Amino acid sequence: MESAVEAELRRQIMAWVGERAETNGGFLRRDELLDFHLDGEKLPVIDYSRGIRNPASFGSTLSIVSTPGRYHDSEMSEDGLLRYAYRKGDPWSGDNRKLRQAISTGMPLILFRKEIANIYTPVFPVYVIDDEPENRQFLIALDESFTFLHDPRHLTQPQREYALRLARQRLHQPAFRTRVLVAYETRCAICELKHGSLLDAAHIVPDGHELGAPTVNNGLALCKIHHAAYDQNMLGVTPDHEVRIALRLLEEIDGPMLKHGLQEMHGRRLTLPRRRGDRPDRDHLAWRYERFDAAAS
């Protein structure tokens, strides 16, 4: 396949992945990825059984899969770059050849983070920027700018800081959203809105605080208006899972959004995940509610 044609196909595939992920709430399901069609032809975006997708007509790899927290073929290092292990077999042919080809062509890949069984968080575009035969692995970056580095194995301090910041934004935050939204069955814990594109994963203890780990029990699935209200202490949640609206808002007279979207949520109980381990940590809720109470008084 000519490189220009392949590049255009990748663009269309990535556009579809982005649209589907946004509709779902930041993730795609395995059956969606395997049933993708382009111009009437079936073209799975992931492989049926392996962590790499190399369509026969493509000169370079289309996608790779990482499974955080378990044995997997890829691992994020302390410099913010991803190390992806060679596939088994001949290091110079098959899957390894197509991954290596992506270095010379500069073709972008899709990284899928398999956070939960059959659930994939897409991160794209990512780029294969170097080959480490002595370690049987490839170096993968989250930004095209790294493809222009003379020595990507040895980043300067500013380059390392930039790579780590990208990893936080493009890997950790989307993964947190996926885990939280899936736990809450893609619905707002307060109003039960079920449109994934309108839902966020809100931290109970803020990101960056020493207790603000990106774990499901430190998160709430909230629609965008309730997330904004929660962040601005217009809305609080007690340790017993009851919603409280700040007194100043309860006393306001405004349009239907204030009345039905916020004021009528006062006293409502959260809709919680089925798994107890995914439910919000009581101590975290208490910590956050103290701050809401102080701001609201």
b/e burial code for range 108-125 (CB count within 10 A of at least 16 → b)? bbbbbbbbeeebbbbbbb
Widest distance between CA atoms in the chain: 71
Percent of the chain with pLDDT over 70: 96
Q: Is the pLDDT of residue 141 over 90?
A: yes
Q: What is the mean pLDDT of residues 257-275?
A: 95
Over the stretch 40-58, which tens digit does the pLDDT of each residue have?
999 999 999 999 999 999 9
What local confidence, expressed as pLDDT, does residue 56 receive? 92
Stated pTM of the model: 0.89
| β-bridge mates for residue 119, sequence order | 29, 116
Q: What is the pLDDT of residues 176-189, one digit of tens each?
A: 999 999 999 999 99
- Summarize the confidence of residues 1-8 as an average pLDDT: 86
CB-based contact 59:106 (threshold 8 Å): no
Does the pLDDT of residue 1 top 80, yes or no?
no
Tell me: the pLDDT tens digits for 48-91?
999 999 999 999 999 999 987 543 445 556 788 999 999 888 88
**Residue 217, Cβ neighbours under 10 Å: how many?**
20
